[in-house]
Structure 1
Amino acid sequence: MTQADTNGKRESVIDENLKRVFEETLDEGVPDRFKDLLDALKQQDQGKGATK
């Protein structure tokens, strides 16, 4: 096996692992504490008359 073959296989494994971790992260969703914080900020903005 040549050095190029070894590097190619190593890069392939790294690519697969990065894609897997990225997909798992996307599937996690937003934690409840962040949703609560966003809701509190929206209410605060509405109380100040913000138009968003």
Structure 2
Amino acid sequence: MSDIPENHRRAGPARNANGSPKGPNAQIAAKLKALYTAVEEEPIPDIFLDLLEQLDQAEQRGKSRA
């Protein structure tokens, strides 16, 4: 058994019938997760890919001079 009295133990987050957490932050957490997933799935803009390619080329030129 634990040394912590039962009335001082922390319970985990309350959960609803399907096992997901419920409470004031659950809806916020779900929306943040959905937003993160949507951003993660967005394609990388072409201008950013072009800048990365220019950086790679500059690094290769720098290595060939050394």
Q: Point out which structure has higher relative CO (alpha carbons under 8 A, 6+ apart).
A: 2
| Higher helix fraction (1 or 2) | 1
Query: Which residue of 1 is the match for residue 37 of structure 2?
Result: 23
Partner amino acid, structure 1, of 2:36: F
TM-score (norm. length: structure 1): 0.71
- Secondary structure of the residue that 1:20 maps to in structure 2? helix
| Equivalent AA in structure 2 for residue 27 of structure 1 | E
Aligned length: 43
Give CA deviations for 1:8-28 in whole Å, capped at 9, x if unaligned: 1x3111011000000000001
Between the aligned partners of 1:32 and 1:24, the Cα distance in structure 2 is 18
Moved over 4 A (4+): none
- The alpha-carbon deviation at position 31 of structure 1 amounts to 0.9
Q: Which residues of structure 2 form unaligned runs of 5+?
A: 1-21
The alpha-carbon deviation at position 29 of structure 1 amounts to 2.5
Instruction: Pick the structure with greater CA Rg.
Output: 2
Across the aligned residues of Structure 1 and Structure 2, the Cα RMSD in angstroms comes to 1.7
